[in-house]
A and B are shown apart, each in its own frame.
Chain A
Amino acid sequence: TQLLEQSPQFLSIQEGENLTVYCNSSSVFSSLQWYRQEPGEGPVLLVTVVTGGEVKKLKRLTFQFGDARKDSSLHITAAQPGDTGLYLCAGGSNTGNQFYFGTGTSLTVIP
């Protein structure tokens, strides 16, 4: 059972365009994390959001946690080829003993 659904699954855009990736669940999470993964490497943590409604910014990336703590979004402004990669959201169980990853969004930014 996939607890976290991401959309879109694939995204191919031109350099300079904006995009939004969504991470949705029917479950409430105490926190959600966003990772970026490049081929053949492990995921790299981008951000953790813990409070419902929280918005965090990391340069051109904006992350939002839903008010009910069931969903999150990642918005990239003026995408660059270096943003290409697999974007993953992940939520932890209340105990922190187990993490559930989303299905992933594969982003390609064309120069």
Chain B
Amino acid sequence: DTGVSQDPRHKITKRGQNVTFRCDPISEHNRLYWYRQTLGQGPEFLTYFQNEAQLEKSRLLSDRFSAERPKGSFSTLEIQRTEQGDSAMYLCASSLMYHEQYFGPGTRLTVT
């Protein structure tokens, strides 16, 4: 299967711990997006990469959040000192055409 993959699918962590999520986009896609989605809401944009360059960051992305795409392929999203409010589904999407995004299955984070 050559779709977008995310790892892990589920993560339970204690408040104050750091977590890191990985996204592997569709191989020829140069655009990569991270979103956060809480129950009953649409996804909220977090950040955007074109190849390895991070070109856009939402104000939602506090200093505790950092994202990388070191070689323009896979990407990681790290949350430091997690808080209960960080509990959400974290979605990754990739695209070749800017208006057609393909999403991964998401990582569901629960902070206890």
Q: A88-B43, A98-B56 are in contact. Are A42 and B105 (CB under 8 A)?
A: yes
A50→B97 CA distance, assembly (Å): 13
Chain A positions 86-105 with a Cβ under 8 Å from a chain B Cβ = 88, 90, 92, 95-104
- B106 / chain A contacts, CB cutoff of 8 Å: 40-42
Residue A73 CB within 8 A of the other chain: no
Q: In the complex, what residues of A have CB within 8 A of residue B48's CB?
A: 97-98
A33 contacts chain B at the CB level, 8 A cutoff:
yes
B91 within 8 A of A: yes
- Judged by a CB distance under 8 angstroms, whether B100 is at the interface is yes
- A30: which B residues are within 8 A, CB to CB? 99
Taking CB atoms, residues of chain A closer than 8 Å to B40 are 104, 106
Is residue A43 within 8 Å, beta carbon to beta carbon, of the partner chain? yes
Q: A48 in the interface, Cβ–Cβ < 8 Å?
A: yes
Q: How far is the CB of A5 from chain B (nearest CB, A)?
A: 10
**Is A45 a contact of B101 with CB atoms below 8 Å?**
yes
The answer on a CB contact under 8 Å between B99 and A98 is no
User: Closest chain B residue to A102 by CB distance?
Assistant: B42
Q: Do the beta carbons of B104 and A42 come within 8 Å of each other?
A: yes
Chain B, range 3-30, C-beta contacts under 8 Å to A:
4
Q: Does A78 contact B (CB under 8 A)?
A: no
Q: A104, B42: Cβ atoms under 8 Å?
A: yes
- Residues of A bordering B, CB below 8 Å: 4, 6, 30-31, 33, 35, 40-45, 48, 50, 88, 90, 92, 95-104, 106
Q: List 14 A-B contacts (CB under 8 A).
A: A31-B99, A33-B100, A35-B103, A42-B91, A42-B105, A42-B106, A43-B43, A90-B42, A90-B101, A101-B35, A101-B45, A102-B42, A103-B41, A104-B42
Given contacts A41-B105, A50-B99, A101-B35, 15 further A-B contacts (CB under 8 A): A4-B42, A42-B91, A43-B43, A45-B102, A96-B99, A97-B48, A97-B56, A98-B56, A98-B58, A99-B45, A99-B101, A100-B45, A103-B41, A103-B42, A106-B40
